[in-house]
Amino acid sequence: MAAVSVATRVIACLDVDAGRVVKGVNFENLRDAGDPVELAKLYDAQGVDELTFLDVTASSGDRATTYDVVTRTAEQVFIPLTVGGGVRSVDDVDRLLRAGADKVGVNTAAIARPELIAEIADRFGAQVLVLSADVRRRIGDDGRRTGEFVMTTHGGRTPVDLDAIEWCARAAELGAGEILLNSMDADGTRDGFDLELIARVRAAVTVPLVASGGAGAAMHFAPAVAAGADAVLAASVFHFGELTVAQVKAALRAEGVTVR
């Protein structure tokens, strides 16, 4: 970890589908978790550092709903808001920023056309651009997960033969200012973050790294920071009231992690 002590951010993630927050396991079997604006206000009151909205069906859905949710949230909550899902162009980024987003996440479109990363960074600055990396372990010939990590697209539904560590490094070089690193294998399992994945990406990039996927208990967050994460993100444990933001920050402080 870097010698300079920078406060670790705690981020609440809201997976939004048709204007509602949903949550599942490995991005499947989604269930309703509430109104995004009301949840955003709750987490703001709890002291969350940032919010992330991911439009989980944006590839095929109507974007107008997302713009409306972003605008309504930005009008009521005054903490950084990252929005991702279905972003395909510089114009999409422009519209989301005008709607109230502070940062915008890209995944599928950037893998299809990596130049998009540089185009967005050149126009708006690297600080606006978050690479949303949905990563899975490669499945070997024996059907078991291996130590290799590959990318997925379309909300984690489509595996891509693209080395995830190399892709994160390339995206950072192209201008991504932050990486939202989501373990699709750990997502929704509540078994803890994929520490090996975090450490390997941390060794390959210098930009801020957000650990996502697998948070299930207060004790899971400090190991993610120790592995190299600059921020820790959770969804279902917050949505269903099992943990509060304050409990996560207290657990981090207890392990010597500086938080806001």
**Hey, which residues are catalytic here?**
15, 134
One-character DSSP codes across 115-173: HHHHHHHHHH-GGGEEEEEEEEEEE-TTSSEEEEEEEEETTTTEEEEEEHHHHHHHHHH
For residues 110 and 90, the answer to whether their CB atoms sit within 8 Å is no
| Phi, psi dihedrals of residue 34, rounded to the nearest 5° | 125, -175
Going by the DSSP 8-state scheme, the letter that residue 26 receives in this structure is T
Interacting residues of 119 by C-beta distance below 8 A, sequence separation 6+: 90
- CA–CA dist 212, 8 (Å, integer): 14
- CA–CA dist 154, 225 (Å, integer): 28
Count of residues in the chain? 260
For residues 255 and 222, the answer to whether their CB atoms sit within 8 Å is yes
| Phi, psi dihedrals of residue 76, rounded to the nearest 5° | -115, -20
- Helix H segments across the chain? 36-46, 63-76, 90-99, 108-112, 115-124, 164-174, 195-204, 221-227, 236-239, 245-254
- CA–CA dist 98, 141 (Å, integer): 47
